[in-house]
Amino acid sequence: MKGKSGPSNNASRSLYKDKEKPTQIRYSNITAAKAVADAIRTSLGPRGMDKMIQSSNGDVTITNDGATILKQMQVLHPAAKMLVELSKAQDVEAGDGTTSVCVIAGSLLDACHNLLAKGIHPTSISEAFQKASDKAIKILQGIATPVKLSDRESLLKSASTSLNSKVVSQYSSLLSPIAVDAVMKVIDPATASNVDLRDIKMMKKLGGTVDDTELIDGLVFSQKTTGAGGPNRVEKAKIGLIQFCISPPKTDMDNSVIVSDYTQMDRVLREERQYILDIVKKVKKAGCNVLLIQKSILRDAVSDLALHFLAKMKILVVKDIEREDIEFVCKSVGCKPIASIDHFLPENMGSAELVEEVQTGTSKIVKITGMAIPGKCVTVLMRGSNKLVLEEADRSLHDALCVIRCLVKERFIIAGGGAPEVELSLQLMEYANTLTGTEQYCFRAFAEALEIIPFTLAENAGLNPIATVTELRNRHAEGEITAGINVRKGAITNILEENVLQPLLVSTSAIHLASETVRSIMKIDDIVMCIR
């Protein structure tokens, strides 16, 4: 008997272990991902806290942008890394709501934890969450209000809602119009279905305050003009962008030339001078009076002698233009990059009303304005008193630009302040009552999980979260779809009166991406280490 029972006991033990392991893996994944979500929960909303992140090389970043925080955090657990990827995906898709998407995912994982403890199978949870997510997006589309791009007021409200939760929220009245105007200038509102944010160049300059930030309908170079006594202001400019060097040519091999007497030396110098003068004369002959020179790696892009000649011929020079900026410059000015002096022809040049050197703070910049053919490109000159504020202002403005981009993609807005989440929660609960079995449980859990957003907003604003969410739920049950948490007054009000609006795409994308990530985590039942 003993001989027979031994193997069967072992088999039953190993079977038991196999059942135990997936559960532990799931709980471990849920705990790790929730820890990441909890880490950034405190930075949600207008009263959210900021995080100071110090990297290994000593660089410090102060931000409350979810994607930035997670990108800089060194997350080791693979499931927690999925949340980092999630915020990155939201950043790409919508640009805003990167903190919200992680908080929702954390809350959904918490709901999964409870459902698993009740003995519901992970696949059932996963499928129910997929249906709940689709239903939620339909409900959101039902409560959204269409918006026209000509309705500047609504666009400004949406941009300032995005900026209200940032470090630079006190400047939202200045940065919102900049974001709206920048996007409107680079698209055709009638036909546009997306915005290429690369057409909006962000230029950061230390000095001054965020108040001094301006939108320039044209092009700005951070470097000053490099003319030895040449002009620093040119009207009716003819602009040439060259990719060749105006300096003595170098041979392909390393070699040295021995000059034995002064006449040979004089001849070398004279020929070098003649070579450069010929190039400069051809530039002048084409009618060019502003020369932009691409940065060169192999040798000097422009020699001192060439600068001297160019200054004599009253040509304004800007050198060291980065290779990646070439496309933007060409698009803005309407010129073509010129690779050799033979192609330096008038038709390859762009034109502008004014090119001038301007003093900003401690340094100078070159501004090009009044393009003959507006290339639908603009530059935002960001100013800030220190590096940390400047970088955060840049990130905040990028989020505001993304909000306007969302409205161009899907021209619908919904209320903010936790209102859509509570409305979703209520409507999903009602819908859950029509279902049966485990699906009903899962729908209820999904609906309750969405209340984390108003709960966290209230918590971060110093209100009583339970009392606030309960009141909010009651107001929505009475039919007030736009009732939300008014952080300024610390009460529940009609959030539209406070001008708190957000694009539909931000919320639908957040719910869709969060539920997708949670489903992926639920489907994992083992982690296999692979040694290479």
The sign of the dihedral angle between the CA atoms of 392, 393, 397, 403 is positive
- Label residue 302 left, alpha or beta by phi (over 0 means left) and psi (-120 to 50 means alpha): beta
Are 352 and 217 in contact, with CB atoms under 8 Å apart? no
Picking from 332, 403, 395, the residue whose alpha carbon sits closest to that of residue 368 is: 332
- Amino acid type, 221: F
Using alpha carbons only, what angle is made at residue 94 by residues 88 and 99, rounded to the nearest 5 degrees? 55
How is 362-398 classified by DSSP, letter by letter? TEEEEEEEEESS--S-EEEEEEESSHHHHHHHHHHHH
Using DSSP, state whether 215 is helix, strand or coil: strand
Are 149 and 155 in contact, with CB atoms under 8 Å apart? yes
Report the distance separating Cα 75 and Cα 431, nearest Å.
38
Counting other chains too, the contacts that 138-142 makes at CB distance below 8 Å and 24 or more residues apart are 139/423, 139/424, 139/427, 139/428, 140/414, 140/420, 140/424, 140/504, 140/507, 140/508, 140/511, 141/412, 141/504, 141/508
Pairing of strands 51-54, 60-63: antiparallel
- The CB density around residue 280, as the number of other CB atoms within 10 Å, is 21
Are 90 and 45 in contact, with CB atoms under 8 Å apart? no
Report the distance separating Cα 295 and Cα 368, nearest Å.
19
Q: Extract the tokens encoding 132.
A: 């709940």
Q: Extract the tokens encoding 521.
A: 């985590």
| Residues classed as catalytic | 65, 98-99, 399
Report the distance separating Cα 202 and Cα 218, nearest Å.
12
Report the distance separating Cα 21 and Cα 29, nearest Å.
12
Are 514 and 18 in contact, with CB atoms under 8 Å apart? no
Q: Extract the tokens encoding 97.
A: 């709501």
Helix 504-523 and helix 122-143, axial crossing angle in degrees, nearest 10: 180
